[in-house]
Chain A
Amino acid sequence: MSASAPGAAAPDTPDAVASGPGSGLAAERVSLRDAARRLAEGELGSLRVLLVLVVIWAIFTIANDRFLTAVNLTNLALQIAAVGTISIGVVLVLLLGEIDLSVGAVSGLAGAVTATLSVKSGLGAWPAIVAGLAAGAAIGLLQGTFATRLGIPSFVVTLAGLLGWQGALLAVLGSEGTVNITDPAITNLAGTFFSDVVGWLVAAGCIVTIALATFGRRRRRLAAELEVEGAAVIGLRIGAAAAGILAAVAIVNADRGLPLALAILVGLVVLVEGLVTRTTFGKHVFAVGGNAEAARRAGINVARVRTIVFVLCSTLAAFGGILAASRLLAVNQSSGSGDLLLLAIAGPVIAGVSLFGGRGSVWGALLGALVIGSISNGMDLLALESSVKFMVTGGVLLAAVALDAVGRQRRQAHGRL
């Protein structure tokens, strides 16, 4: 970077203040203009996908006045809860530069395990849910072990899983082929709405937490004499987050209230994002995705990191399957099949998670699911046929990836001399 910057310190000027600690000038330079440039070069992938979302919502709002209503947007939240949850695990696998094609089948199987144990074996709701999650974790461990210990590409291992677990789903469901869920503890996962007061309290809690965390971090960095972002950027970011949270709660409160399923999805995103950005394990995931050989030489147990990620991915897929079963009140032979797998992978990719590993954010799972969910929801409102839906979704995916490629090229052109 500094190679192309005119003001960059030349190697032979001993008094050059390159990155001197505590230089107040540098702090001011991380400004709005900088953010705009980074947006143009595609570094702020999350913001860009938000713009895409705004465009899509604008189009559907013009096309159908029922799209931007509280009822429909709450439905949208319920529609994306399952696929968004599955996408969280997909993001983790993509960060490694791997792929998991079995997430759809695993979600169906886990839903079937939970439903069958609850309905046919008379197990309590929570033991049944835990069993479904455990089935997912075990599958992840098996696939992860095959992929890492035997060095089989994850594409192939999980392709085998895609077929195998679909078979297992049929076997679990038995001759009837459908299990209707009756236990309210399971159906409440997707059927619970919190009261308005709870919604506002959650919103206030989130905003206060974000503000405290942001200012706390800024204070600690200032105390350590490190570069900090400008007050304008921080204020803008907190303000935008607050506005988004308040708007979301206002919308869902205008309908039935904050859905538990949405709270679960957002909570999982925050939790997993914390795991990948704030822990040693998360750093190792990015490192393995960026350069596995470098990670190995740095003493990171690459096989262990990979296996854990496959376990997490399958467990999240299982949870997504349980959420889907809760919403449909049933598990049947087509659970977890169809386009679920492809949408769960396309979402994060649309939101800027790289297929080549090492780049992306867990928020991509939520934002990508929102984009895909909005397209599907909006076209359902317009009563368009499946043929059109598939083609438009494919077009959006291609456009998003193309935008990403253009951004990367621009970044390289600016970054390297």
Chain B
Amino acid sequence: MTTQRQAGATRAPAADGALLRLRRISKRFGAVQALSAVDLDVHAGEVVALVGDNGAGKSTLIKAIAGVGPADDGEIHFDGRPARIHSPQDSARLGIASVYQDLALCDNLDVVDNLFLGREQTRGPVRGVPIDEITMEQRARELLDSLAVRTLRSVRAEVGMLSGGQRQTVVIARAMLGEPRLVILDEPTAALGVAQTAQVLSLVGRLRERGLGVVLISHNLADVFAVADRVVVLRLGRNAGEFPAESRRQQAIVTAITGADSAGSPDEAANS
């Protein structure tokens, strides 16, 4: 495993510096071995791209990290300490935020309301009354400014009127409200146009600048090379190689994804 330290790491690192360290993560669905002893390291201030063909186990792996589908076996270390992730709450408590590819926004609400959905700010002694619109709007502005989001004309715009890229920006910004230390992005640029993809990727870059660890799942290697530091390839539920995110490695990465040339990967005999 590469343990190259990233310049952006700001938090006090553990012995080997990894913010999240997964070892021998396994998961079985009935007769299907979805993950077999997968390892993954994510450092603070590092974008790790998780790539692989359909069914390679990417989604299963991030569900294990997010607590949506806990792993059967294996070790998880967060910030150098052993961690147990059995529920989404466990994951959130550690400081892990997950952003899924299907956009979870309310089209009829504005940007501020969507950002604060489920954690509305209120003022006054009674719980839930009244809503503090002003504080919410200010915090929303601060948050979007700190992420250098300049594509939203008004934080009071209805989310249903926004473009796909703007909506994805809102979703990612919402994840940032919980001040996470690790962000998992599942296909954040799927179904986006060129300019909108660039918006979202530059936002991912700013998450790194803030010292967050980022796990980026993507099918698009161009996106991966644009923003990731490291590429981890999964194939048939196993680690199938790890590469620096450089476009000249594209051929090697594609080979690892498809398994066309098995010289470097020991998993040719993997079960289905």
Contact = CB atoms under 8 A, between A and B. Distances in A.
A280 B138 contact: no
Contacts of B195: 11
Contacts, number: 124
B10 interface: no
Interface stretch (A56-64, A84-92, A282-290): A282-290
Contact of A280 (B131, B163, B199): B131
A417 B163 contact: yes
B223 interface: no
A277 B133 CA distance: 10
Interface in B95-149: 104-109, 113, 117-120, 122, 127-131, 134-135, 137-138, 141, 144-145, 148
Contacts of A194: none
Interface string A145-178: 0000000000000000000000000000000000
Interface in A255-301: 277-284, 286-287, 289-291, 293-295, 297-300
Nearest to B141: A21
A358 B138 CA distance: 24
A16 interface: yes
Contacts of B248: none
B262 interface: no
Contacts of A415: 158, 160-161
Interface residues of B, number: 43
Contact of A297 (B104, B151, B157): B104
Contacts of B134: 220-221, 224, 226
Contact of B155 (A19, A293, A299, A359): A19
B131 A295 contact: no
User: Which of B156, B161, B166 gathers most chain A CB within 10 Å?
Assistant: B161
A290 B109 contact: yes
A291 B152 contact: no
A218 to B, nearest CB: 11
B198 interface: yes
Contacts of A227: 154, 156
Interface in A37-75: none
A416 interface: yes
A25 interface: no
B110 to A, nearest CB: 10
24 contacts: A2-B153, A11-B202, A18-B150, A19-B154, A221-B134, A224-B137, A226-B134, A226-B138, A279-B128, A282-B131, A283-B109, A283-B117, A283-B131, A287-B109, A290-B106, A290-B107, A295-B117, A298-B119, A299-B119, A358-B107, A358-B108, A358-B109, A411-B161, A415-B160
Given A287-B117, A294-B117, 7 more contacts: A221-B134, A226-B134, A278-B131, A289-B108, A290-B109, A295-B106, A357-B108
In the complex, the 4 A-B pairs of residues with the closest C-beta atoms, listed nearest first: A298-B118, A290-B106, A358-B108, A280-B128
